[in-house]
Amino acid sequence: MSHKMQPQATSHILMIRPVRFAFNEETAESNAFQSVEIAAKTKEAAQQEALEEFEHMVSQLTAAGVEVTVYEDTPEPFTPDSIFPNNWISFHQSGKVVLYPMQAPNRRLERRMDIIEDLKKRYHVEEIIDLSSFEQEGKYLEGTGSMVLDRRYKIAYACLSPRTHQDVLEAFAHETGYKIVKFNSVDAGGKPVYHTNVVMCVGDSFAVVCLQSIQDPDERLMVREELEKTGKQVIEITLEQMNSFAGNMLLVNNKRGEKLLVMSTQAFESLSAKQRDEIDDYAVLLHFDLSVIEGNGGGSARCMMAEVHLPEK
């Protein structure tokens, strides 16, 4: 590789504190990970319980030496999924900020320029690439939910779904210079998986991936080879583990340069001792209970963190 290797992980994470977290009816159709049962149980208490899980995660990350910048959600407009900022924005070492087209109308309201303006005080923002106009064509790409980025090699892994459209992927590639590795992925029920970041997590020298969810043998081989070609140990998870959010992890650094793999307790508990040992060679496993957020929101630890990779001023 001729260009300077970019770090895969950052020690600065952006998170959004929820104020009206709730089961989102607008996303439930394409997100099989949302649980109507859990939603019914927690309906009134969902916001309070989600807030407790959120605060615990922030304090654990901070205690582990990760810098967490928390922005408050606003009560209006109503954005029940604002706790998952990684879907509407991504930050890049080049100084580029990308805004994404979202499928659910109430999720489009999560995009907030005031957050970018605030980050500009400390970081260099060279360009804002706004892909949100694709919404008018009914084409979506939900950030680092739809794409799992290998930032070192500029590869974006993406499973196609109602929320991940080929045309927007191509626009992203054109604007950022990423190579797209696209494939199809289904859950145990044969339904397309809504976001790539529940299928896989790419670290710097390892990847956790549910190859079982990629039914086409050629695509499965292509994904494995692409990961191995960039020097990664492939740690496979099962469909059942994927369903417990074991693919929804994020590698972060702390300020001492130590590597942490962040996930939910449900994800951690679904891993076998052998898988934990394999991951342990690369990163410390850090997990917290996110069951209310997972059940209502259909997203887990990875979805709650937008990584700030912008260059400091």
Report the pLDDT value the prediction gives residue 41, as an integer from 0 to 100: 54
How many domains does the chain fold into? Answer: 1
47 lies in a domain?
A: yes
Per-residue confidence band for 6, with pLDDT thresholds at 50, 70 and 90? confident
The pLDDT assigned to 2 comes to: 38
7 within domain boundaries: no
DSSP, collapsed to helix, strand or coil, labels residue 37 as: helix
Banded model confidence at residue 29, pLDDT cuts 50, 70, 90 = low
Structural domain includes residue 1: no
Write the DSSP assignment of 229-287 as a string of letters: HTTPEEEE--HHHHHTTTT--EEEE-TTS-EEEEEEHHHHHHS-HHHHHHHHTT-EEEE
Listed range (4-13, 58-67, 138-147, 213-222) with the worst mean pLDDT: 4-13
Q: How confident is the model at residue 21 (pLDDT cuts 50, 70, 90)?
A: confident
Quote the mean pLDDT of the chain: 92
pLDDT given for residue 33 in this prediction: 45
Q: What is the pLDDT of residue 5?
A: 78
With a cut of 80, say whether residue 284 has pLDDT above it. Answer: yes
Within a domain: 20: yes
Note whether residue 271 is domain-resident.
Answer: yes
Per-residue pLDDT of 203-234, as tens digits, reads 999 999 999 999 999 999 999 999 999 999 99
CA gap 87, 296 in Å, rounded: 17
Coil, strand or helix at 109? coil
CATH number where 241 lies:
3.75.10.10
d(CA 293, CA 298): 7
Per-residue pLDDT band at 81 (split at 50, 70, 90): confident
Residue 233 or residue 36, greater confidence: 233
Instruction: Identify whether 68 is part of a domain.
Output: yes
Instruction: Compare 2 and 179 and report the one with higher pLDDT.
Output: 179
Q: Which domain holds residue 251?
A: 12-307
pLDDT over threshold 80, residue 45: no
Whether residue 57 lies inside any domain: the answer is yes
pLDDT at 290: 96
Q: Is residue 229 part of a domain?
A: yes
- Mean pLDDT in residue range 122-146: 98
pTM over 0.85: yes
Neighbours of 137 (CB within 10 A): 11
Query: What are the tens digits of pLDDT across the range 265-275?
Result: 999 999 999 99
Over 70: is that where the pLDDT of 202 sits?
Answer: yes
